[in-house]
Structure 1
């Protein structure tokens, strides 16, 4: 008897997810239904596969959504996070397991009791970050604790970047995931973490000037800025007594200092709209944020306003984005500054068809055992194939796909709303990911941390 997998939403992160299911369809007796608001955009390769059905599915159409979920064995929601709740409520109603790669929302969390009562696995945060970060960290932490070690320091950084062979701009960056999330990164409150036993806070306007530097063997130097809430997983990871707890985002060195220009100007603000934005020239947009001068050019005003020398690489980066081009126009009506900035950046930072992206994840864990201090540095590097089969799609989609089959095959059975922190979950998933080139390199290095 066929087991029916329903995938809701077929965005950029689903190429490897779908491939994995189709490759296993015969041996695992699977039929995959892909429901999306725009089914014509889904690859013909999938549409022609005997084990795959593609349907138009509007998640806001209750009848369509409920019918598709009721007809499935398990549901994988790849929708934007705010829409998962619609799917999750139906999964409770029709007793279906649910897999998502998104952070657990309060609304999803509220379904925990009902999911447990019905014996349903609602696995969330089973992508890259969150996802692989949880599983790889817990595997390391559990290994240290099982040997009698006490964790003193935990740092974890992840970056969605462009591979060296496709790095063709001065920013050393191209969009490999949702551009809006990149533009709005770090907003919503001060970044908070613990460093050497002290709570630390970085306000948004200072975030991109407070970076740490890392060397990833074979790939060079990178910088990391703090995520908004490094303390969110303190209890879940069992790190209540840790002296340093820091989670962040990786970029190539120099990106953050240049990005800070947009922050200081106010171009990343998403709280108000700009009148007459439609048809506005790029240089007019820049001028909105600069002091008035009847004689100085936009370029000169910007350099003086933010003290940027003409021979500074940052100035070259701004020029490269066509920010002062009088012929480039904005196509958005009544848009926020952040929306306009996103449009400008997408014109320059979108992956070309054969471009390769790169995912880097880095963990640093310091611990004490038998009176001595040790440190483990672990890193994972994954290179994409092209714009469709990206490293981002691979590292987000494969963990979700593997988890789906493990639930179907009753290898993951603990019910309730959860994230992948237990050995039952992380051991088989990390092992299977190694078969697809997603694995960590670990090395023991001298301990660097709080000296007590």
Structure 2
């Protein structure tokens, strides 16, 4: 946007007297010092040579602030014709690299070459506001109308001429007509980032006991010029060529993007003995024992090699940028498992698929180091949680060294500054011409500057209007309770919404996992609620709140107790969707700040120990408000309450619940099961004992026999065949449901599975796959069953000896179970190919990386099943909850009453997410509205308002629990008969 001259229409004395002199002044450029806190920032936006040319050719006055760290001494600028100035207040255009401290930011109007006229000055920098970075909203606020933000000027009180606000131009947004960035340090970032990553990789190899030749790689900041770095390259590159790399390490690098960063990366790697390979060659390359380890194998993975549409269509760039939500990334399975070093230069925006998530990082078993040259915190590489510095360039995430230096080009300050100046000088001249009144002399540069302006004339420019809410949210935190909120920078529509801040009820959701979506939607559906979703995955949190104007996302580390405590303090209620062991930690903070808390998890001993403290503080810690536990408690309590009101005695209570794949998704799948979370809990539960009463007989089943002592037929449905497993100690729930143990002939809670689950899981256990003690080391997946057998029974079976393997299995399993076991193991690629007829299966052996270290068999199996038995995007899940209560009336007659919930997932939300997340939301709103008076550690049956509110909410969402009277006998007889048939 062209600069706008505004006649001064304010009372005399409002501005400094020097603005009213009649003497003409040249256009003035200011080169500011960088933030003193950025000790390694030594770059300059203009070199002394460029300053000399501007002074001589363009008759420009140049001011420079003193800075002893800057790569060009002030003396060079003075020789070029610049002047030293402490504040740069006379400058029309102020140039810097990074954003300045607010205390030094000059945004007041400036006098141009004509008298009695003021114009807004211009700032150019990497402002780090483009993506709504919270920490720089105070900076952006200074460029926008509203409030007393002329802290640096002589203006009195509120500013009255928004058009005089300074213009903010961000280098990151300067592009050509083709959309490509024209002013950047990408090439130098690629060079410096590659060197830093190679050094970090060498240090990690040294921790593994291997002295890599990359120990000789120079760190970029140790060389004054690129020529010196190149000279050093010759020495260490020669060492790499001389020394064979250890076969334990392997060395495959991946580089991303195809721009200046990539060219910088390749300029360094080209000095090495590299071989370029395709993604399709990776598996063979890694598995081939003849691979030449004196070479460095580089895969330049372009988007079409790992991105595709969810419907299976191939990647198309225009469609991808128009519809990123319709795409998914297979980088974690196609490329990451084969890499030793990942060099990433791809930028990322909210709504786009991530390159590699934190959970997917565990699949990259060969990966030693990551160089995130883009340094996009919580972005394409989700696990990059913070930036690093040149003096401390790396940190570890799950054993992988992460290099995320946010000022990489500052390692090469002189060369980077020269290159930057060459690209920037054209735009500087265009702005100078504009101030001189010679607008539009360089049409292309003028257009680029207009596109790169984030703020001008006190307003956010086109494409950046969404930042208004971010700025206003920050401004709201700066106001006193009595201060009016009418001075908003946002549109009237947004202002109307934001004027409610301070009167809304604030809900804090900690965590953004699979069940969070329905809870967030329910809570944010209330206009009187202000919702904050705080997560270690900013992408997930932003996705959850994207559709809600009264919700915002925060990136947070739960270990940052100070920040979490502050968030809890500022909230009215806290919902913890974090892993269960973290709930007591959050509960402690809630007690300290006297805030209520809701969570879906079981009451743990650590949580129960907080009961008296919570009561003393008047705080409710509401637990067990998901599906199981949660809806099961609410629906059981509802039915039991009605039966008691009819003076009926409860003599039998049977309850089964299961989260399963829909039948079509379970067909032909080992175990008839799919995992939407870590399988470790399922495998652990398969070895836990159970205690229950059934048909008048008490049962205690030890953990090692639980899978044998299963219920082969749970008659809940005419259309589905189901089996069941007893679920821990059912007798504890007599107290929960206020039942009299002496009246009960049946008290049983169980878990539902499809037929065959228990038998196959037991077979897994028999051959050693569920052992949790002695670790084993795999070289490839097909050796897993053999090694587990060998370890458990002290056998020795030759690799690939199928007859011996089958013979060993036949020694420990009955004949009827051998074929199903081998079919499952073949499907899962856990044995070599056999003659057993097995259904076709995906090539999990190539998709799931083998663990890099020895692990107990049960952990190896859990890792494999998490991938092999995961839900595909087109597959549905199923939730079944069924209570059967036998009630006896005063005449001694018995009736069987049932309470049932059946829910299927859909393309948008899984049934599990809805049945866990919605009850959390319903219960939290009940507490928030003051409908719950209980305090202490409680479950959903603590008050009618909780469990009734949950059931009413579910009914409104089409998830109502159906109660009925069952004709005929209860299921007790069928269950008991099936259990009795099992071997003892």
Give the TM-score of the pair, scaled to structure 1. 0.92
- Note closer, same or farther for the CA distance 1:332–1:378 as it changes in structure 2 (3 Å cut): farther
* 1:256 equivalent in structure 2: 758
1:226 equivalenced with 2:733 (yes/no): no
* 1:335 equivalent in structure 2: 855
* 1:441 equivalent in structure 2: 962
1:201 equivalenced with 2:696 (yes/no): no
* 1:265 equivalent in structure 2: 767
Measured in 1, the distance between the counterparts of 2:854 and 2:542 equals 34
- Note closer, same or farther for the CA distance 1:64–1:428 as it changes in structure 2 (3 Å cut): same
* 1:374 equivalent in structure 2: 895
Match of 1:292 among 753, 778, 796: 796
Query: Does 82-91 or 206-215 show the bigger shift?
Result: 206-215
Measured in 1, the distance between the counterparts of 2:819 and 2:887 equals 42
- Within-5 A mapping of 1:123-162: 123-162=622-661
- Note closer, same or farther for the CA distance 1:325–1:71 as it changes in structure 2 (3 Å cut): farther
Listed one character per residue, the Cα deviations across residues 38-95 of structure 1 (whole Å, up to 9, x for unaligned) are: 2123353524632122112211211121111111110000111111111000000101
Query: Does 109-118 or 364-373 show the bigger shift?
Result: 109-118
* 1:11 equivalent in structure 2: 513
* 1:364 equivalent in structure 2: 884
Q: Please say if residues 4 and 72 of structure 1, whose CA atoms lie closer than 8 Å, have aligned partners that are also in contact.
A: yes
- Note closer, same or farther for the CA distance 1:293–1:307 as it changes in structure 2 (3 Å cut): farther
Q: Please say if residues 303 and 310 of structure 1, whose CA atoms lie closer than 8 Å, have aligned partners that are also in contact.
A: no
Q: Please say if residues 303 and 309 of structure 1, whose CA atoms lie closer than 8 Å, have aligned partners that are also in contact.
A: no
* SS state at 1:249 partner: strand
Match of 1:73 among 572, 575, 594: 572
Listed one character per residue, the Cα deviations across residues 105-128 of structure 1 (whole Å, up to 9, x for unaligned) are: 222222222222332221100000
Match of 1:216 among 707, 710, 716: 716
* 1:315 equivalent in structure 2: 822
Measured in 1, the distance between the counterparts of 2:624 and 2:730 equals 16
Query: Does 418-427 or 396-405 show the bigger shift?
Result: 418-427
* 2:673 equivalent in structure 1: 173
Measured in 2, the distance between the counterparts of 1:428 and 1:174 equals 31
- Note closer, same or farther for the CA distance 1:437–1:48 as it changes in structure 2 (3 Å cut): closer
Measured in 2, the distance between the counterparts of 1:310 and 1:187 equals 20
* SS state at 1:442 partner: strand
* SS state at 1:232 partner: helix
Residue 261 (structure 1) shift = 0.9
Match of 1:302 among 799, 802, 809: 809
1:22 equivalenced with 2:524 (yes/no): yes
* SS state at 2:673 partner: coil
Residue 195 (structure 1) shift = 2.1
* 1:244 equivalent in structure 2: 746
- Aligned length, in residue pairs: 443
Query: Does 287-296 or 35-44 show the bigger shift?
Result: 287-296
* SS state at 1:365 partner: strand
* SS state at 1:72 partner: coil
1:187 equivalenced with 2:694 (yes/no): no
Q: Please say if residues 205 and 264 of structure 1, whose CA atoms lie closer than 8 Å, have aligned partners that are also in contact.
A: no
Measured in 2, the distance between the counterparts of 1:146 and 1:310 equals 50
Listed one character per residue, the Cα deviations across residues 365-418 of structure 1 (whole Å, up to 9, x for unaligned) are: 1121122111113321110113x6111111111001000000011122222210
Residue 32 (structure 1) shift = 1.1
If each structure's helix is expressed as a fraction of its own residues, which one has the higher value? Answer: 2
* 2:219 equivalent in structure 1: none
* SS state at 2:732 partner: coil
Measured in 2, the distance between the counterparts of 1:379 and 1:317 equals 33
Measured in 1, the distance between the counterparts of 2:921 and 2:786 equals 44
Q: Please say if residues 878 and 904 of structure 2, whose CA atoms lie closer than 8 Å, have aligned partners that are also in contact.
A: yes
* SS state at 2:706 partner: helix
Measured in 2, the distance between the counterparts of 1:366 and 1:310 equals 37
Measured in 1, the distance between the counterparts of 2:532 and 2:924 equals 14
- Note closer, same or farther for the CA distance 1:355–1:152 as it changes in structure 2 (3 Å cut): same
Residue 311 (structure 1) shift = 8.0
If each structure's strand is expressed as a fraction of its own residues, which one has the higher value? Answer: 1
* SS state at 2:672 partner: coil
Measured in 2, the distance between the counterparts of 1:343 and 1:136 equals 35
- Note closer, same or farther for the CA distance 1:428–1:146 as it changes in structure 2 (3 Å cut): same
Any gaps of 5 or more consecutive residues in structure 1? none
Match of 2:545 among 29, 32, 46: 46
Task: Point out the structure with max Rg over C-alpha.
Answer: 2
- Note closer, same or farther for the CA distance 1:59–1:311 as it changes in structure 2 (3 Å cut): closer
* SS state at 2:789 partner: coil
Q: Please say if residues 533 and 545 of structure 2, whose CA atoms lie closer than 8 Å, have aligned partners that are also in contact.
A: no
Residue 178 (structure 1) shift = 3.5
Query: Does 36-45 or 363-372 show the bigger shift?
Result: 36-45
Q: Please say if residues 767 and 788 of structure 2, whose CA atoms lie closer than 8 Å, have aligned partners that are also in contact.
A: no
* 2:444 equivalent in structure 1: none
Q: Please say if residues 214 and 223 of structure 1, whose CA atoms lie closer than 8 Å, have aligned partners that are also in contact.
A: yes
Measured in 1, the distance between the counterparts of 2:529 and 2:852 equals 43
Measured in 2, the distance between the counterparts of 1:288 and 1:109 equals 39
Measured in 2, the distance between the counterparts of 1:374 and 1:82 equals 42
* 2:192 equivalent in structure 1: none
* SS state at 2:637 partner: helix
Q: Please say if residues 224 and 251 of structure 1, whose CA atoms lie closer than 8 Å, have aligned partners that are also in contact.
A: yes
- Note closer, same or farther for the CA distance 1:240–1:214 as it changes in structure 2 (3 Å cut): same
Residue 133 (structure 1) shift = 0.7
Q: Please say if residues 690 and 706 of structure 2, whose CA atoms lie closer than 8 Å, have aligned partners that are also in contact.
A: yes
Query: Does 244-253 or 431-440 show the bigger shift?
Result: 431-440
Any gaps of 5 or more consecutive residues in structure 2? 1-502, 834-844, 974-984
Query: Does 300-309 or 205-214 show the bigger shift?
Result: 300-309
Query: Does 305-314 or 11-20 show the bigger shift?
Result: 305-314
Measured in 2, the distance between the counterparts of 1:288 and 1:199 equals 36
Q: Please say if residues 776 and 857 of structure 2, whose CA atoms lie closer than 8 Å, have aligned partners that are also in contact.
A: no
Q: Which has the higher contact order (CA 8 A, sep 6+)?
A: 1
Moved over 6 A (4+): none
Residue 300 (structure 1) shift = 4.0
Q: What CA RMSD, in Å, does the superposition of the two structures yield over aligned residues?
A: 2.2
* SS state at 2:763 partner: helix
1:282 equivalenced with 2:282 (yes/no): no
